A and B are shown apart, each in its own frame.
Chain A
């Protein structure tokens, strides 16, 4: 019975995540190597289709750096992002930043201001600063360690 319950729980939780945010991903190798070497390979569900298109259309001016790719790699990654994009309202910023979304702010409302300034975190865009397995697309609650904080964040 326990197995059935946990199986059911797993089914519902992954289904709702997949439907909504698509956090868990086997990232394509190109995405990991091209995007994931300067920053965490962000879950594609963090931005909607239009926002990703916006980001990918000007990689030469990518948040203050030049992240240009060859045409084929660019097209491959853009297609994958579009296919797996989120469906939420657009993010603010030029190019758009997922850290500006209502969803992102709500999910991180318990994180103390001090933690964001910790040199190990540096910026809210540094997922791995707290999400130990962000590089693998794992954002589970039990995989979070906030630098300088002993206590675990309470589950909602």
Chain B
């Protein structure tokens, strides 16, 4: 029963409960499965997504333009040069620990780089890539 309560909460209100990388992947995957039955987050697909040049912004052409292709390394903002803390929660435990922050950055960066909001499946794949999940 104890296990059932958070599980229910996770299903009904993913954004409130997803506070670890694994929970974020689970909740975004669950959302993605609604339109793509059997969806499973995939790190390789996440890496391809992060590397894809979207043709929207010249300087911010893809995710790795700032975040680098190694989530364990710090990045550098392609316009301002500011250091960006690593994406990998193994190196930077603050990553993917706060749903408001995660949603804020997906919203901002997807609009900027991808030119639209990202799908739940893309977010799940991206976090799988960032956490190094295989």
> Does A associate with B in a complex?
yes
Categorize the interface residue count of chain B.
10 to 19
In the assembled complex, the CB of A2 is this many whole angstroms from the nearest CB of chain B, namely: 39
State whether the Cβ of A104 lies closer than 8 Å to any Cβ in chain B.
no
- Beta-carbon contact of B82 and A128 below 8 Å: yes
Least CB separation from A134: chain B residue: B82
Contact of A64 among B76, B79, B82, B111 (CB under 8 A): B79
**Is A129 an interface position by the 8 A CB rule?**
yes
Q: What residues of B have a CB within 8 angstroms of the CB of A63 in the complex?
A: 79
How many A residues face the partner with a CB closer than 8 A?
18
Bound form: Cα–Cα A121–B80 in Å? 9
A126 neighbours in B (Cβ, 8 Å): 80-82
CB pair A65 B60 closer than 8 Å: yes
Proximity bits, A45-73, B CB within 8 Å = 1, else 0: 00000000000000000011111100000
Q: Are B59 and A38 in contact (CB under 8 A)?
A: no
Is the pair B108, A129 in contact by a Cβ cutoff of 8 Å?
no
Most buried by A among B59, B80, B84, B112: B80
Q: How far is the CA of A126 from the CA of B82 in the complex (A)?
A: 6
Chain B, Cβ-Cβ closest to A123? B81
User: With A65-B60, A65-B112, A66-B108 in contact, is A38–B81 under 8 Å at CB?
Assistant: no
Min CB distance B37 to A, Å, is: 34
User: Is B13 at the interface (CB under 8 A from chain A)?
Assistant: no
A66-B108, A66-B111 known; A39 and B80 CB under 8 Å?
Answer: yes
B60 touches A122 (CB 8 A): no
In the assembled complex, the Cα of A97 lies from the Cα of B77 at a distance in Å of 18
Q: Does A153 contact B (CB under 8 A)?
A: no
> For chain B residues 100-116, which have a beta carbon within 8 Å of chain A?
108, 111-112
Which of A64, A121, A123, A128 is within 8 Å of B83, CB to CB? A128
With A64-B59, A65-B60, A66-B108 as given contacts, are A129 and B81 in contact (CB-CB < 8 Å)? yes
Q: A residues within 8 A CB of B82?
A: 37-40, 126, 128
**Which A residues fall within an 8 A CB radius of B?**
37-40, 63-68, 120-123, 125-126, 128-129
Residues of chain B touching chain A, judged by Cβ–Cβ distance below 8 Å, are 57, 59-60, 76-77, 79-84, 108, 111-112
The 4 closest A-B pairs by CB, nearest first: A122-B81, A126-B81, A39-B80, A39-B82
